[in-house]
Amino acid sequence: MTGADILLKSLIKEKVEIIFGYPGGVTIPLHDKLKDYPQIKHILPRHEQGGAMMADGYFRRSGKVGVCLSTSGPGATNLITGVANAYMDSVGMVVITCQVATNMVGTDAFQEVDITGITQHITKHNYFVEKVEHLPRIIKEAFYLASTGRPRPVHIDIPVDVLKAEAERFDYPKKVNIPGYCLPEKTDPKKIEQAVELIKKSARPVALVGHGVAISKAEKQLMKFVESCDIPVITTLLGIGSIQEDHRLSFGMLGMHGMAWANYAVSNADLLIGVGLRFDDRITGRIEEFAQDANVIHIDIDKAEIGKNKVVDIGLLGDCKTILTKINQKNPQKSHKEWINQIRKWEKETQLGKIKKQVRLKKSDHLMAQDIIAQIDKQTRGMAVITSDVGQNQMWSAQYYKYKKPNQLLSSGGLGAMGFGLPASIGAKFATPKSDVWAIIGDGGFQMNIQELGTIMEYKLPVKIVILNNGYLGMVRQWQELFYKKNYCSTRLINPNFVQIAKAYDIEAYRIKDMKNAEKYIKKAAAYKKPILLEFVIGQEDCVFPMVPPGNTLKETIIKRK
């Protein structure tokens, strides 16, 4: 058998069902063997970046390690943005690139790049396979590393002669032995006791919940904890859905475009319990003044994150599910009725609270993104999987859809990658075919990976695509308006006819300019069993509020345009 056989047999041992791969000269020996392994479905993206982002969406929805594949040189470098995105957002992924022959490495051969050197800082680990005999061990280790501890991408670079090389037999290892790689040690029981004591003493606690809750599937443990202790829950962007948004203890997202009342709550808390998050700048604002009057408990599986950005009083190392279970065993019960009423008062005083209840922001002569997303929420009963790009469409999707489950909103958090929404929706659909998947995208981000309409067409994926077309790179334009005297340099977009493009890919499509037709076609899309694209023409200068200006504190949240 060849190295290609061994690779595919190894992937089957790891229960891989789908590879998002793009062929090239050095992948041919591998692609030639795929017909012999029907257990693996090979999905052809139209660009390698799309393939990496599909693998990302697949992991987030299925919990299984996503796999993407490319040829050498430009094929490998095209993966980079998707790999970096997965690294920032703690996504388990195995990235396989094929390389020029080992005797050609280092000669600047055709389509040769040092891809292991390039990916070193955006992967948990990477491998260059020198011998065919090493393949089973490397595949075993790669999947173990990608899926344990803090999930992150692992890269394997395989020269073409290794794929062609003959091996006498296939022995897949049962265990891994990786010196220097250790899963988090058990948390000191004394620290759990100390954390429980802080929780019992607190009068104004806040549970700040991040992506770690979804990754560790700790939503039940979280609910038990916050209901027992009567603690309000505020989420990061990727923590959305960890608690149902209509729950009495759910107070939305914080940060630059978070709910104003959530920002006020964190700013006035006397205890902040961070659960599986990084305390990044988009949620903290000016870090020196972030929750400056609060004691801080930080639960995280990555030791490097505890105390990295925010000084903490108690660091609890471990996955969220395990740590919350241990805290729940101590049964720390308490009531915080007065504190919760105060947060509700702030909620009533801010504009967004009214919008969420009334849906309509104001009478307008143009469509508003807020209304469109609220209507999608209504027609899907809050049960759809939403993927987004980055920017205004991302923030409106986070603010106006009422999420019920973890990983229901798939978005590029740490990297903020335009072009993520469309391929991520494809990965999500393959991961959970019965889920209703909507990609909500801006006109700029849509064109970053517009070619993936071809993948949707080929595999007949009933993804619902929503373009919020304001004719601008909306979030950059918003900053130019608010902070650069409306100097709209290079943000105006001259767009093609999106409807005609979609129809060229055999996808039904409509351009919509008024709310009456918006309701009509959103309802149609919700019931439609084939792919469909809805382009909504929204106001060119609509802004996302609330907003914390860059460099300001959460206390300085702007509620609306002055």
Same domain assignment for residues 316 and 223: yes
Q: Is 559 a member of any domain?
A: no
Q: Is 177 a member of any domain?
A: no
Q: Is 561 a member of any domain?
A: no
- Dihedral sign of CA atoms 97, 101, 107, 110 in order: negative
Same domain assignment for residues 17 and 89: yes
Same domain assignment for residues 68 and 147: yes
CATH of the domain at 462: 3.40.50.970
φ, ψ for residue 21 (rounded to 5)?
Answer: -135, 150
Same domain assignment for residues 332 and 370: no
φ, ψ for residue 339 (rounded to 5)?
Answer: -65, -40
One-letter amino acid identity for 142?
A
Domain boundary among 328, 347, 366: 347
Q: Is 184 a member of any domain?
A: no
Helices (H) and strands (E) counted in the chain, each on its own, are: 24, 18
Domain boundary among 347, 379, 397: 347
Q: CA-CA distances (angstroms) from residue 556 to 263, 264, 394, 486, 547?
A: 9, 9, 22, 22, 9
Q: What is the model's pLDDT at position 481? A: 96
Same domain assignment for residues 106 and 47: yes
Q: CA-CA distances (angstroms) from residue 154 to 64, 380, 390?
A: 14, 36, 24
Total domains in the chain come to 3
Q: Is 175 a member of any domain?
A: no
In this structure, how many other beta carbons lie within 10 angstroms of the beta carbon of residue 47?
22
d(CA 222, CA 209): 9
Same domain assignment for residues 403 and 426: yes
- Short-list 364, 418, 409, 351, CA closest to 536: 364
d(CA 412, CA 419): 9
Same domain assignment for residues 418 and 474: yes
List, for the chain, all residue ranges whose pLDDT scores fall below the cut of 50: 359, 361
DSSP string, 147-204: HSSS--EEEEEEEHHHHH-B-S-----SS---TT--PPPPPPHHHHHHHHHHHHH-SS
Predicted TM-score (pTM) of this structure = 0.96
Q: Residue 247: which domain range? A: 189-347
CATH of the domain at 208: 3.40.50.1220
d(CA 450, CA 171): 42
Helix (H) or strand (E) holding 293: none
Q: CA-CA distances (angstroms) from residue 521 to 194, 384, 392, 530, 532?
A: 55, 16, 22, 14, 10
Alpha-helical (H) ranges within 202-258 are 211-215, 219-229
Count how many residues are written for the chain: 562
Q: Is 46 a member of any domain?
A: yes
Same domain assignment for residues 210 and 324: yes
| Paired tokens of 66 | 């996503």
d(CA 379, CA 160): 50
3-state secondary structure of 499: helix
Find how far residue 401's CA is from the centre of its chain: 16
d(CA 233, CA 258): 13
Q: Is 463 a member of any domain?
A: yes
Characterise 111 by phi-psi region: left (phi > 0), alpha (psi -120 to 50), beta (else): left
Q: What is the model's pLDDT at position 359? A: 46
One-letter amino acid identity for 163?
L
DSSP annotation of 432 reads S
Q: Is 399 a member of any domain?
A: yes
One-letter amino acid identity for 161?
D
Same domain assignment for residues 282 and 157: no
d(CA 482, CA 148): 43
- Say if residues 307 and 315 touch (Cβ distance below 8 Å): yes
- Short-list 551, 560, 538, 559, CA closest to 466: 538
- Say if residues 276 and 235 touch (Cβ distance below 8 Å): no
Same domain assignment for residues 86 and 234: no
- Say if residues 111 and 70 touch (Cβ distance below 8 Å): no
| Paired tokens of 422 | 């469309």
Half-sphere exposure of 520 (CA within 13 A, CB side): 8
Same domain assignment for residues 325 and 390: no
Domain boundary among 164, 197, 223: 164
Same domain assignment for residues 320 and 358: no
